[in-house]
Structure 1
Amino acid sequence: MPSKLDQLRTMSTVVADTGDMESIRAFKPTDATTNPSLILKASQLPAYARLVEEAIVWGRRQNAMVGDVTDRIAINFGSELTKIVPGRVSTEVDADLSFDTDASVAKAKKFIALYKERGISHDRILIKVASTWEGIQAVKRLQAEGIDCNMTLIFSIAQAIAAADAGAFLISPFVGRILDWHKKAGGGPYTPETDPGVKSVREIYTYYKAYGIKTVVMGASFRSTGEVEALAGCDRLTISPELLEALSKEEGELKPQLDPNHVGPAPAKIAMDEKHFRWMMNEDQMATEKLSDGIRLFAHDLAALRTMVEQRLTAAA
């Protein structure tokens, strides 16, 4: 019998959640996604020193700002990923722009232009934007201009509905981080079937399919293979190398848990606007806290990457 990973590929598009090229080559996902934390981690590995060094040398020659060099590092990683995966590569807008619509749009367009300079078409790239109200408005503008976006840090149905209304190409609901919050709050023990993160993605998936929403649902941030298996059949699943390896070694039948043709009862359709969005988020303590935590974490790791770049530029000078 094929491994569970091979079975999963027949049900969902498998995406690698890493900046580690060797892991991606090993598991052959369709797409790849990165974020500031993953790039920071990968940039410290000897195998990818050349991607950082190229940006540092470029920055010294151009007398470039630190932000321009960190952008170049992100594009260096993204460009390498496009050579490995046949599908899309997600590149994330700076987390500290999460509440600035205009700046998020400008950074997204800069990334697309930088990829274009390397001969990489915009249809190979997804621009990743945090799912704040301001981020959602940025995605609405970008999608209208033909720039496909991945709305990240999704923790609630409110965010998912607003992202779909904005025309987002794809959303990334964070399964494991939802579970983390509930366990910390004293909930559980949970099984994959009662896992609140799994249940959240299933609710979003059902809502989208029931109302004919085309936005892709990509489960993310998994803590176990059990969570992954509980969402088999979801449009896409972005999985860490560790869990990809575990699934590649697991045998036994993997049954689809989600089917677009059999979604069951859907939540009532919601007409979303800014007031409704903010109220629903206010009423959802978990989603509010995890969105804030996620933005802080990504901003912290981006700041660490910038510090490393600044130190390297200074040393090079």
Structure 2
Amino acid sequence: MPSKLEQLRDLSVVVADTGDLSAIERYRPQDCTTNPSLILKAAQQPESAGLVREVIEQAARAGEDVERILDRLAVRFGVELTRLVPGLVSTEVDASLSFDRDAMVTKARDFIAMYEAQGVGRERVLIKLATTWEGVRAAEILEREGIRCNLTLVFSLEQAVAAAQAGAFLISPFVGRITDWYKKAEGKDSYPLEEDPGVQSVRRIYAHFKSQGYATVVMGASFRSAAQVEALAGCDRLTVSPALLGELEADQGSLTRALTPGEAATGKEEPLSEGAFRWALIENQMAGEKLNEGIRQFHLDALKLRRMVEEQLRTLGKQPAD
């Protein structure tokens, strides 16, 4: 019998949630997603040292500042990933810009220009944006320009609906972080899969999108166990860490489809207003807290990466430029 990973590939598009180039080569995913935390982790690996040093040295010789070097590093990892996967690579806009629509649009255009300068067309790239109201509006602008977007840090149905109504190519509703929140809030060590709040959230979003006929791709993310991945088999896409991909590859058991698209409803829901979107994140304590926490954590990891780049610049005898 084929492994559960092979069976999963027949039900969902499997995406690797990593910047680890060796892991991509091993598990052969269709697409790959990264974020500041994953780029930081990848940049610290010995096998990536040469790539990081090359990007920093080239940018330093050109007199570019630290901000530009960080952008070039993110894109360079993305370019390398496009050589390993046949599909899409996601590159994330700075978390610190999550509440500035125009700044996100500008940064996204810059990323695409850098990719295209290295021979990678925009059809291979997804720009990741936090699913704030401003992130949704930035995606609306970018999608009209042919720049496809991945709206990430989705913790509520309202975030998902806003992204779909804006025409976002893809959303990343999180599983594990939702489960973590409820375990802490309710004092539980675990949940049966059918009661897992994170699994239930993605299932609800998937069912709603199919009933409304939204074209936006639903990609479950942030898994804590292989069992959570299996519980969403059949979702449009699933982005999974190398560790869990390894577990699924080693498991020769049977995998059954958990999600199937139903018939689309005849009526369409009303557009979600800014007020309703913001109020939903107030009413849903988990979603509001996890969105802000996710943005904050990505920003902290971006700062760590910045300090690493600054240190390498100093070893080259270059004073980091702000």
Same fold (TM over 0.5): yes
Task: Measure how far apart 1:100 and its partner are.
Answer: 0.6
1:205 matched to 2:209: no
Q: Letter of the aligned partner of 2:235 in structure 1?
A: C
Over residues 137-168 of structure 1, what are the superposed CA-to-partner deviations in whole Å (9 max), with x where a residue is unaligned?
10010001110000000000010000001100
Is residue 59–residue 313 contact of structure 1 (8 Å, CA) maintained in 2?
A: no
Residue 284 of structure 2 corresponds to residue 314 of structure 1: no
- SS at the partner of 2:83? helix
In structure 1, the partner of 2:243 is 242
Q: How does 1:28-39 map to 2 (within 5 A)?
A: 28-39=28-39
Map of 1:109 onto structure 2: 109
Unpaired runs of at least 5, structure 1: none
Within-5 A mapping of 1:1-317: 1-188=1-188, 189-261=190-262, 269-317=269-317
**Aligned partner of 1:80: which letter?**
E
Q: 46-55 or 160-169, which moves further after superposition? A: 46-55
- Cα distance in 2 for residues equivalent to 1:18 and 1:303: 19
What amino acid sits opposite 1:218 in the alignment?
M
Contact persistence 2:151–2:171 (CA under 8 A): yes
User: Distance in 2 between the 1:72 and 1:303 partners?
Assistant: 15
TM-score by length of 1: 0.97
**Distance of aligned partners of 1:2 and 1:262 in 2 relative to their CA distance in 1, 3 Å threshold:** farther
Offset of 1:191 from its aligned partner?
1.3
SS of the aligned residue for 1:128 comes to: strand
Q: What do residues 294-316 of structure 1 show as CA deviations (whole Å, max 9, x unaligned)? A: 00000000011111111211221
CA contact (8 A) 1:99 1:135 kept: yes
CA distance in 1, matches of 2:50, 2:79: 13
* TM-score between both structures, scaled by the size of structure 2: 0.95
Partner SS state of residue 150, structure 2: strand
C-alpha contact (below 8 Å) 1:91/1:125 kept by paired residues: yes
2:106 aligns to what SS in structure 1? helix
2:210–2:263: 8 Å Cα contact kept in structure 1? no
Separation (CA, whole Å) in 2 of partners of 1:70 and 1:301 = 12
Measure the CA separation in 1 of the matches of 2:158 and 2:262: 23
Give the distance between the partners of 1:286 and 1:173, measured in 2 at CA. Answer: 13
SS in 1 for 2:260: coil
Deviation, 1:262, is 6.2
SS at match of 2:193: coil
Using the TM superposition, name which of 57-66 and 232-241 deviates more.
Answer: 57-66
3-state SS of paired residue (2:153): strand
Matched position secondary structure for 1:279: helix
1:135 CA displacement? 0.7
Cα deviation code 1:73-104 (max 9, x no counterpart): 11110000000000000000001000110000
Residue range with higher mean Cα deviation, 205-214 or 179-188: 179-188
Unpaired stretches in structure 2, ≥5 consecutive residues? 318-322
Runs of 4+ residues over 4 Å off in structure 1 = none
Of all paired residues, the percent bearing the same amino acid is 57
Instruction: Confirm or deny: 8 A CA contact 2:211 2:263 kept in the other structure.
Output: no
Task: Report the 3-state secondary structure (helix = DSSP H, G, I; strand = E; otherwise coil) of the residue aligned with 2:14.
Answer: strand
Tell me the alpha carbon deviations over residues 171-198 of structure 1, each in whole angstroms, 9 at most, x when there is no partner.
Answer: 0001000000001112543011111010
Deviation at 1:269, TM superposition (A): 3.6
Aligned residues: 316
Structure 1 counterpart SS, 2:15 = strand
Please give the root-mean-square deviation of Cα atoms over the aligned residues, in Å. 1.6
